[in-house]
Amino acid sequence: MSTAVDAAGIRRLTRQLLADRPPATTDRTDFLEARFDAGLAWVHYPVGLGGLAAPRSLQPVVDAELAAAGAPDNDPRRIGIGLGMAAPTILGYGTEEQKRRFLRPL
* Domain chopping of the chain, boundaries: 7-102
Q: Work out the pLDDT band at 5, boundaries 50, 70, 90.
A: confident
- Separation between Cα atoms, residue 16 and residue 96, nearest integer Å: 28
Topology of the domain covering 7-102: Butyryl-Coa Dehydrogenase, subunit A; domain 1 (1.10.540)
Helices (H), the chain: 7-20, 28-37, 59-68, 80-81, 87-93, 96-102
Task: Give the CA distances from residue 60 to residues 21, 49, 94, in Å, rounded to whole numbers and listed in that order.
Answer: 20, 18, 26
Whether 6 and 57 have beta carbons less than 8 Å apart is answered as no
- Separation between Cα atoms, residue 53 and residue 22, nearest integer Å: 25
**CA angle (56, 38, 83) in 5-degree steps:** 50
pLDDT digits 0-9 by tens, 18-67: 999 999 999 999 999 999 999 999 999 999 999 999 999 999 999 999 99
Mean pLDDT of 84-92: 87
- Separation between Cα atoms, residue 81 and residue 104, nearest integer Å: 15
At 1 the pLDDT is: 44
SS3 of residue 106 by DSSP: coil
At 75 the pLDDT is: 72
At 96 the pLDDT is: 94
Averaged pLDDT of the chain: 90
